[in-house]
Structure formats: C-alpha cells, structure tokens
Amino acid sequence: MLILMLYFYKITAFPSTNQGLITKYMGPGDRWRSSTAFSKVPTEKISLGIASYGYDWLSGGTRANVVTTLDVMQKTGHGGFTAGWDEPSRTPFVKYRDSQGRDREIWFENSAGAGHKMALVKRYRLAGFYFWRLGYEDAKFWQTVRESLLQ
C-alpha cells in the first residue's frame, strides 16, 4: 500500500514562510500518475491522506497556529472576514484582521475541499482515503464523507 499525503503541502508562492496551502488537489493535469513511482504501483494500492485541519498565519509570518474547521467556521461567523477559494488546490481560506490589528490568513480543509479530494478515489480507482487530525472537522465534513462512501 502506498499512502499519498495530500496535506502539509508547501507552495513556492511563499518560499520564505511556507504560508499558504495545506493541501494539493490532484486533478487530471497533474503529473503524479505518470511519475515513475506511481506508474509501478497499481492504483488500487494507493490511498489518499486528506487534512481535516488548517493553519492560521500572521501575514508574512513564518509560524502558524493549528486550527480546527469548527474554529474557523465559528470565527468567520463574527464578521470582518474575507472568505476565498483557491481553485487549483480546491482549498478554502479566509483573511482577517486580529484584535491587535494584524492581518492574518487561515488556510484550512472543509467539507467542500475534502469532497473534491475524496472524489479522486473513485475517479482514479484508488484503495481509499484517510484523515489526518481526527476531531478537528465539523459535522458537515462527516456528511460529505458519508455521501462520498455511498456514491
């Protein structure tokens, strides 16, 4: 079994801080399937690891606080947040100003993003998926898991 972690992804857009995406989406244009390692492993022996957490970054900072999806949803309900969606990675993020007036960004996984990643299992006929950091997700996340397994 080969386990492919789709989390703790570091992007080149933030080389000095590692700030940004926590996950990568493996769409049809990605080269992972044609790489030497994957071409020798049957797809039914590949399992995807999906995040169920996020990172709250001080804009331009080099360290982040781990946050739960539930924390993010509760914070965004209080206003002052700019929500966004990164289409290439199928990952949500929010930008806000903290109580000290500092700009911050939260990159996290939610049910919508996880749903896209779970669909890859069916698309590529993979062995399955697992989650990293159980207990950090919300109820909607588990609803998406149930729907994915029933399809």
* pTM (2 d.p.): 0.78
DSSP category for residue 91: E
The pLDDT, as a whole number, for residue 12 is 40
Residue 148 phi/psi, 5° resolution? -65, -40
Q: Mind listing the pLDDT tens digit for each residue in 12-26? A: 444 444 566 666 565
Residues of the chain with pLDDT under 70: 7-38, 77-80
pLDDT for 30 equals 57
Q: How far is CA 17 from the centre of its chain?
A: 18
Write down all domains in the chain, each with its CATH number in brackets.
2-150 (3.10.50.10)
| Dist. CA 134–CA 150, nearest whole Å | 21
Give SS3 for 85: strand
Task: Give dist(CA 83, CA 106) in Å, integer.
Answer: 9
Find, among 144, 151, 146, the residue nearest to 110 by Cα. Answer: 144
pLDDT of residue 14: 44
In degrees rounded to 5, what are phi and psi of residue 74?
-70, -40
